[in-house]
Structure 1
Amino acid sequence: RLACDLALHLRAKGHPVTIVTSAINPKTDTSKNLTVIRVEGDDKPNGAWAYFKILKRMERAAKKLPRHDIVISMTDPPMLATVGDRVARSMRSKHIHWAMDLYPDLLPVLGANIPAIIQKIIHYKIYNAVKKADALVPISECIAKHIAKNTTTKQSVTIENWPERSLLKQEECAPFFKDTDQKFRILYAGTIGLAHDFEALLSAATYFKKHSPEIEFVFVGGGRGLSALEKKAKDRALFNIRFLSHQPTEKIKSMMEGGDLHLVTIKDRAAGLLYPSKFYSACAVGRPIIYIGPKECEIHKNIQTHQCGASIRTTDSQALIKSITEYRNNAKMWNDHAQNAKTIIALSPNKNLKQWDDLIAHLNGVH
């Protein structure tokens, strides 16, 4: 979604843009100044060989293109930085690596069983490609710091992610939740992945089921961690936890506004390796954020600086229960933190896209 926003922005600025990605059904779509090439690839690749085939197809497709001034690589699928490096060198173009999460560093956190020697080779190849890139764009300072521990870079410019534009529209939405009884909802909207920690939340849900049944936890989305989380909720008879599938675009804003608090969580071992964009989505709709995760993640700093939520250690379920209870019972604190959340993205996404404009102009020698 962010790559699409950037591509449309650059096209609006008059830059011809080509996107190379993958899909189950390969095809190419072309419109004014924008071409999208979809090479063949599984929706959910299973195993290293599936990823390798997608990467090779993307590389072959990119190398068939006419020269582009800038090549931007992303971090998923893993090893894409190396493809970006080779494509940029073959085109004699500038290479920007956009670091949203860090592989192979994340693989052990996700439970991937990769031999140490293979992981070491992948680590070397990716960070060597990052080192050779003309610019690095990490999405947070904690990611930038982790990269700096592993390699040097020619130029690093931190550009934070931004929320969906639809969330910033000033319009009234019909309520997403139609319950007749009043619920106080903690909403988790997005990927339910293996890098996210939900143990404290399950403990809190167990407590509130008995003491405050009007407090409800809602998960919207899917991911590799969904089935395990559903099973844990079922085994504990946590009927105050609801699971909903991904929602269509036209319902996202009302769904996000339906949460009284928004939940963001990552495992301790994932600190500096990813930065959940759902933080910005919560800010866009003006909701306090409950962050469960390590203090090394930039979200902790943002919450402390802007007073827009609560930051809780992954194992501290009592602190989570206390924070939810305070927001439930203290309307002034909830409102103050909700307003503070909105100030974080007051200039977004225009400010973020302007940073991209400046970086691209600099690499192209335009001042």
Structure 2
Amino acid sequence: MMDLLAKSPFDLAKEPKVVILADWLPPDFGAVGQYMQMRARALAEQGHDVTLIGLSSTGRETRSETRGKGRLTEQRLMASPVPRTSLLRRLLWTIWTNLRLVAASFRSLRTADAILFTGSPPFLIHVLAPLRFLWRGRLVYRITDFHPECLIAARDRPSWALRLLLSVTNFWRRRIDAFEVLGIDQRRRLRQTGVPEARMTLVRDGSPVVFAGHEQAEPLPQPLAGTVVLLYSGNYGVAHEVETVVEGYERHHRLGSGRVHLWLSATGGGADEVAARLGRRGLPFHRSAPVALERLAGLLLTPDAHLVTLKDAFVGFVMPSKIYACVDSGRPILFVGSADSDVDLIARSGRRDYWHVMCGDVAGFAAALEGIAEAARPRS
């Protein structure tokens, strides 16, 4: 993680005081919040005075501590879960949450030397950028997921309202001081919006857990005993490929050896859809809730291989951060998605136990499962 932070655009001499805005902070589940908490702690240890403001499902809380050469203050705002059943309710939740985050951090924002915000919650740029004249420090946008591009990519035909929102968003993007991108594919996308390359810095997430060699694998769920286990962990949402996985998995079980069984330790609409479709077809799989961060290393050591997916329409707009921990776990990886995604670049680098399948290649997915089954390590 420190190697990644060394590439960060924050200068301790010029920007000692940093404010970071994020969404759900641990122990609530949220990849962006996990990474921003890690980022805040590491910056504090380097000597920055860091204030991290995020959301919590358990209550409002503010706590401060000395970390290394600096200081970290975490401010949590009580928030209700994101309403995922209605686009209008989700939009209203986002607007209200963004206003609350800015209001709660207003005094800190006014005195900060640098402000780092992310793509979660979405559209925070529409509050921070218009108020740019109030902030004395640089405004740095860490592109996590692109919005509204993700909304557009999820639809067969974008509405005029979304196209208008995209134009307004790009207007404000061109007025942000600096950007952190998670991958080369994101840098390409951002450049297409008119943001100069000189304002972009590549700062990858890295793994949220460290594999030191003494971690114990999580117990294998009993329904998976005696099988070759393919694990999908974390968020399985609208950006992640479903069709190829379901059809290829069925082909493996109907026409192939059927040795590989899917473990969904996942949340999200994609996980719900995969589980429902596999259940209707009578195909074996196991589903459980995502584990807490302190158990993640053990979970990632448990399966025979990891599954990572990304729809073609979301390449460069979404970067599945789980790829870093999957790579560091040392387990084989099966990626369903485009070679234009940085997921393929990261997973392929220096690895032999890697299977890559393009979206729509059902036969290729089934063949990859057979390869994983043949390469599976014997279990004691």
TM normalised by structure 2 equals: 0.80
> What does residue 16 of structure 1 align with?
49
CA spacing shift, 1:55–1:113, aligned 2, 3 Å? farther
- 1:200-225 deviation digits (Å, cap 9, x = unpaired): 22123223334424321111120122
The number of equivalent residue pairs is 330
1:295 to 305, 320, 339: 339
Q: Tell me which amino acid in the other structure corresponds to 2:81.
A: D
Partner of 1:214: 259
- Aligned letter for 1:320? F
Contact residue 130 and residue 136 of structure 1 kept, 8 A: no
| Separation in structure 1 between the aligned mates of residue 347 and residue 282 of structure 2, nearest angstrom | 32
What residue number does 2:80 align with?
42
**8 A contact 1:310–1:323 mirrored in 2:** yes
Indicate if the aligned counterparts of 1:79 and 1:122 stay in contact, CA closer than 8 A.
Answer: no
1:23, 1:254 → 2: CA distance?
25
1:306 aligns with 2:339: no
- Give, in whole Å, the separation in 2 of the partners of 1:102 and 1:225: 19
2:161 is aligned with 1:123 = no
Q: Aligned pair 1:275/2:319, yes or no?
A: yes
State the AA in 2 paired with 1:226. Answer: A
Q: CA deviation at 1:152?
A: 1.8
The whole-number CA distance in structure 2 between the counterparts of 1:226 and 1:178 is: 18
Question: Please, which of 186, 190, 195 is the counterpart of residue 143 of structure 1?
Answer: 186
1:238 is the counterpart of 2:288: no
Q: Quick one: structure 1 residues 89 and 25, their matched pair in 2 at CA, closer, same or farther if it must change by over 3 Å? A: farther
Q: Tell me how far 1:159 sits from its aligned partner.
A: 1.1
Kindly state the Cα deviation for residue 86 of structure 1 after the two structures are TM-superposed: 4.4
Distance 1:41 1:112, change over 3 A: farther
| Secondary structure, counterpart of 1:296 in structure 2 | coil
* Runs of 5+ consecutive residues of structure 2 not aligned to the other structure: 1-33, 66-70, 84-88
- Pairing 1:286–2:319 present: no
Q: Secondary structure at the match of 2:174?
A: helix
Shift of 1:329: 1.8
CA contact (8 A) 1:109 1:194 kept: no
In structure 1, what is the equivalent of residue 149 of structure 2? 105
CA–CA separation in structure 1 for the residues paired with 2:63 and 2:231: 38
Distance of 1:84 and 1:138 partners within structure 2: 19
- The range that moved more, 187-196 or 127-136, is 127-136
Deviation string, structure 1 residues 51-103 (Cα, Å, up to 9, x no partner): 11111111222223250100001001221123333455312111111001111
Partner of 1:19, secondary structure, is strand
Detail structure 1 runs of 4+ shifted over 6 Å in the superposition.
none
1:76 partnered with 2:109: no
Residue number among 83, 89, 100 corresponding to 1:57 in the alignment: 100
Q: Secondary structure at the match of 1:220?
A: strand
For residue 89 of structure 1, what is the aligned residue in structure 2?
133
State, as a whole percentage, how many aligned pairs show the same letter: 18
In 2 relative to 1, CA 114–207 (structure 1 residues): closer, same or farther, beyond 3 Å?
A: closer
Deviation at 1:130, TM superposition (A): 2.3
Aligned residue for 1:205, secondary structure, equals helix
* Range with greater deviation from structure 2 (272-281 or 149-158): 149-158
Shift of 1:273: 0.7
Shift of 1:145: 0.3
Partner SS state of residue 306, structure 2: strand
Equivalent residue letter for 1:3? M
Corresponding letter in the other structure for 1:207? R
Partner of 2:19: none
Distance 1:236 1:185 in 2: 19
Change (3 A) 1:121 1:24: farther
User: Which has the higher mean CA deviation after the structures are superposed, 94-103 or 126-135?
Assistant: 126-135
Q: Say whether residues 1:228 and 2:273 are aligned partners.
A: yes
User: Aligned equivalents of 1:221 and 1:129: distance in 2?
Assistant: 34
Alignment partner of 1:322 is 2:367: yes
Q: Does 1:248 align with 2:292?
A: yes
Q: CA-atom RMSD, angstroms?
A: 2.4
In structure 1, give the amino acid aligned to 2:163: K
SS across alignment from 1:322 = helix
Amino acid at match of 1:41: A
User: 1:30 deviation in Å?
Assistant: 1.9
Partner-residue secondary structure (3-state), 1:221: strand
Q: After superposition, what is the alpha-carbon deviation per residue over 1:236-278, rounded to whole angstroms, capped at 9, x for unaligned?
A: 1012x21111113343222111111111101111111111011
